[in-house]
Amino acid sequence: MRLESKVALITGAGSGIGKESAILFAAEGAKVVVVDLNEDAGNAVVMNIKASGGEAIFQRADVSKSADARDMVQAAEDHFGALHVIFNNAGISHARDDDAVTTEEDVWDLTFAINVKGVFFGCKYAIPAILRSGGGSIINTASFVALLGAATPQLAYTSSKGAVLSMTRELAAIHARQGIRVNALCPGPLRTELLMKYLDTEEKRQRRLVHVPMGRFGEALEIAKAALWLASDDSSFTTGATFLVDGGITSAYTTPL
């Protein structure tokens, strides 16, 4: 049980990577705070965990709101008595996100509010709680596009994930000697609803896959397993990392300086 006696909070836990991570973390012994805007989806994950003998609660939160972020951390401490792990996973990719000329200000602002401010608020309120528990792990979801850029324009999303990388590195340096590890998890193209809504034909999917050396999309569970490693003491000497789980796409397209 790699997370036995740990309390983990996961945002965006009603679907995709967050859902798979919540179920996996619980199976590995964690008490899980399932955070999502979608109450039905979040409660369904809690029921799934409890049906398998795990412990979980649901907390509704808009991660872009300071009060909601504060309350979700407070819920972890109130219900389970501590917080050891936060997985700042919630994020959006807006349908109208495009290049600098086309992307509208409201799309930019909403993307940054959730993808960047949401991570900031998660860290802001979780760090004192993790310190009270004696240390732990913060995992922030970034993306391979923060390193490569995206061939299909999605400037707000790509820029927001670059901000997550920078935030993660600085927090890792600040808190390393306090027993808090902070890492950025960077998934490659995944077979999730978030991506498949754009790649809605076989032709579009194959056009993306030609760039992935492994020749397939990743699965949410594969990212959850990487998050589990970062959450657990197995990664005790890992902080400030850009942790790529991308099917090799960055190795194929990153040019050494």
Which sequence positions are flagged as catalytic? 157
DSSP assignment string, 152-209: S--HHHHHHHHHHHHHHHHHHHHHGGGTEEEEEEEE-SBSSHHHHTTS-SHHHHHHHH
Cα–Cα dist 250/211, whole Å? 9
Please, what is the end-to-end C-alpha distance for the chain in angstroms?
42
**CA separation, residue 203 to residues 97, 169, 207, 211, 246 (Å):** 21, 37, 6, 14, 21
Cβ(249)–Cβ(189) below 8 Å = yes
Environment class of 67 (CB within 10 Å of its CB; exposed 0-12, middle 13-18, buried 19+): exposed
What are the φ/ψ torsions at residue 239 (nearest 5 degrees)? -150, 150
Cα–Cα dist 209/213, whole Å? 8
Q: Provide the strand spans (E) within the chain.
A: 7-11, 31-36, 55-60, 85-88, 136-141, 180-187, 242-245
3-state secondary structure of 43: helix
